Structure 1
């Protein structure tokens, strides 16, 4: 659906050239929700704006639904952009126009058949749950309602791709969840491919199937959300995940431990099984649980446990091997053997 190859975007500043996007290659599959994560300045917004050519890349190519957008200009480019809707963090609604007028404006600008505009706007208002707000102005809406208008406007011309630029960053947690549920509904019912940029791993965990981590204009890690949560490789990725799955244990607790401290990661169905209790019984060990949680990502369980093992060295070594054979990963955080 979206294929980005060797994309680079260079900005010219008073201090010289700056690479906003540095040789990025990514593929987004049709009908999936793909997350791009990074801190401010990582290049994720620049990359997103390149996808619909709001920013023209310095080099590289962007193919959307089989069309290389970087090869288009003028009317051909404008026509192809109609396949790509976009929603923004700050909504960008026209304050002097009603909800109905904000949505219909997008249709009129795209030369949508005049006799079908009213019906299309009514359909969109129903889809985003704002039929009762048809004639009110943006100032009378909550933040979540404004974003729903933004989503309806982005969907007006039946796009195949929806780009979301920090779409929930200005919203409270409850409203964020409702907007994410709406995006999931749109993705499922309309089969619209969604690319979502954010600095919030909770958002990615909730809605995305695959993701990429960006730093200094580069993609430093990408893959399925589940796999990245289960086994992050880059230091920045681990930092992001720890903002959602807290694994920090106070030093005073660690100092009181005498045996080895291990982190065990269980993937899939095995996360709900009693592997650790079986291990402690089978190898005559005692376990001091320091931390444990089961996260659900794309409805699949991911179990993460940190514990101190107490017992004979030989038994502990056998137990670690036994756990490793049943788990995705065993990491010795501190070797007390």
Structure 2
């Protein structure tokens, strides 16, 4: 669906040359939700804007549905953009126009007949749960409602792709969850390909099938969201994952640890198995679970537990070897 090859975007001034996107290659499949995550200044928003040529790349290839957008004339590009919707952090609604008029604007700009517009606007507002707000103005709406209007407007011309630039960053956690649920619904019901730019790994975990991590204009890691969470390889990715899956044990608790402090990771069906119980019954050791949780990423469980294992050193080592054969990862932690 979306193919980026060796994409580079440079910004030039009289004194400097700044590389916003540095030789990025990505393939985003039809019908998937793809996340691009990174800290501020990583180049992720610039990369997103290159996907519909709001920013013209310095070099590289941008293909959407097999069409190289960089080879299109201005007229052809404008028409192609109708199949690429976009929503922003700042909503960009016209304050003097009603919800109806804000959504209808996109249809009028595309030359849709007036007889069709009313029905289409009502259909879109039903989809985003705002049919009862049709005659209200943006000032009468909450942040989440404004973003729903923006989504309805972006969907007006039946796009194949929806680009979301930090679409939930200005929203509170509960509203963020409701907007993400709406995007998942749209993806499932309309088969829409969605690309989400975010600096929040929680958003990626909640909604994305696959993701890429950016730093200094480059993609440092990409893959399925589950694999990224369960086996991150780049140091930046690991820091992002820690914002969701990290555990901080109190210093006072660490001081009381007498045995080995062990971090266990369970992937998929392993999370439902009685591995720790089996280990305690099989070896002359004692175990005490200090912290743990099971996250569901694309409906697949990922469990992480921290426990203390006490006993004869040989028995403890044998017990840990047993665990290594049953779980996806065993890490002996420093309890200093």
TM bucket by the smaller chain? over 0.9
Conservation of the 8 A alpha-carbon contact between 1:7 and 1:57: yes
Question: What CA distance in whole angstroms lies between the structure 2 residues aligned with 1:28 and 1:262?
Answer: 38
Conservation of the 8 A alpha-carbon contact between 1:285 and 1:310: yes
2:233 is the counterpart of 1:244 = no
Question: What CA distance in whole angstroms lies between the structure 2 residues aligned with 1:248 and 1:233?
Answer: 21
Conservation of the 8 A alpha-carbon contact between 2:180 and 2:207: yes
Task: Give 1:306's aligned residue.
Answer: 306
Task: Give 2:332's aligned residue.
Answer: 332
Question: What CA distance in whole angstroms lies between the structure 1 residues aligned with 2:247 and 2:231?
Answer: 14
2:51 is the counterpart of 1:51 = yes
| Paired residues for 1:139-150 under 5 Å | 139-150=139-150
Task: Give 1:129's aligned residue.
Answer: 129
Q: Secondary structure at the match of 1:244?
A: helix
Cα distance, 1:335 vs. partner?
A: 8.9
Conservation of the 8 A alpha-carbon contact between 1:7 and 1:25: yes
Q: Secondary structure at the match of 2:332?
A: strand
Question: What CA distance in whole angstroms lies between the structure 2 residues aligned with 1:250 and 1:100?
Answer: 53
| Paired residues for 1:1-337 under 5 Å | 1-13=1-13, 15-334=15-334
Question: What CA distance in whole angstroms lies between the structure 2 residues aligned with 1:13 and 1:330?
Answer: 51
- Cα separation, partners in 2 of 1:103 and 1:280, compared to 1, 3 Å: same
CA deviation profile, 1:303-322 (whole Å, cap 9, x unmatched): 10112221222222221221
Question: What CA distance in whole angstroms lies between the structure 1 residues aligned with 2:250 and 2:233?
Answer: 24
Question: What CA distance in whole angstroms lies between the structure 1 residues aligned with 2:24 and 2:253?
Answer: 43
Question: What CA distance in whole angstroms lies between the structure 2 residues aligned with 1:182 and 1:233?
Answer: 31
Q: Please list every run of 5 or more consecutive structure 2 residues that lacks an aligned counterpart in the other structure.
A: none
Q: Secondary structure at the match of 2:24?
A: strand
Conservation of the 8 A alpha-carbon contact between 2:259 and 2:308: yes
When structure 1 is superposed on structure 2, of 308-317 and 200-209 the one drifting more is 308-317
Cα distance, 1:15 vs. partner?
A: 4.4
Cα distance, 1:250 vs. partner?
A: 2.9
Conservation of the 8 A alpha-carbon contact between 1:259 and 1:335: no
Cα distance, 1:14 vs. partner?
A: 5.0
Q: Secondary structure at the match of 2:118?
A: helix
Question: What CA distance in whole angstroms lies between the structure 2 residues aligned with 1:310 and 1:57?
Answer: 59
User: How high is the TM-score relative to the length of structure 2?
Assistant: 0.97
Conservation of the 8 A alpha-carbon contact between 2:285 and 2:310: yes
Question: What CA distance in whole angstroms lies between the structure 2 residues aligned with 1:261 and 1:15?
Answer: 54
Question: What CA distance in whole angstroms lies between the structure 1 residues aligned with 2:318 and 2:14?
Answer: 62
When structure 1 is superposed on structure 2, of 269-278 and 109-118 the one drifting more is 109-118
Q: Secondary structure at the match of 1:326?
A: coil
Cα distance, 1:229 vs. partner?
A: 1.1
Q: Secondary structure at the match of 2:238?
A: helix
Which of structure 1's runs of 4+ aligned residues deviate more than 4 A?
none
Question: What CA distance in whole angstroms lies between the structure 2 residues aligned with 1:232 and 1:167?
Answer: 25
Question: What CA distance in whole angstroms lies between the structure 2 residues aligned with 1:170 and 1:22?
Answer: 28
Cα distance, 1:50 vs. partner?
A: 0.4
Question: What CA distance in whole angstroms lies between the structure 2 residues aligned with 1:8 and 1:251?
Answer: 47
Number of equivalences: 336
Question: What CA distance in whole angstroms lies between the structure 2 residues aligned with 1:244 and 1:88?
Answer: 24
When structure 1 is superposed on structure 2, of 60-69 and 311-320 the one drifting more is 311-320
Cα distance, 1:248 vs. partner?
A: 2.1
Question: What CA distance in whole angstroms lies between the structure 1 residues aligned with 2:127 and 2:13?
Answer: 43
Question: What CA distance in whole angstroms lies between the structure 2 residues aligned with 1:73 and 1:57?
Answer: 15
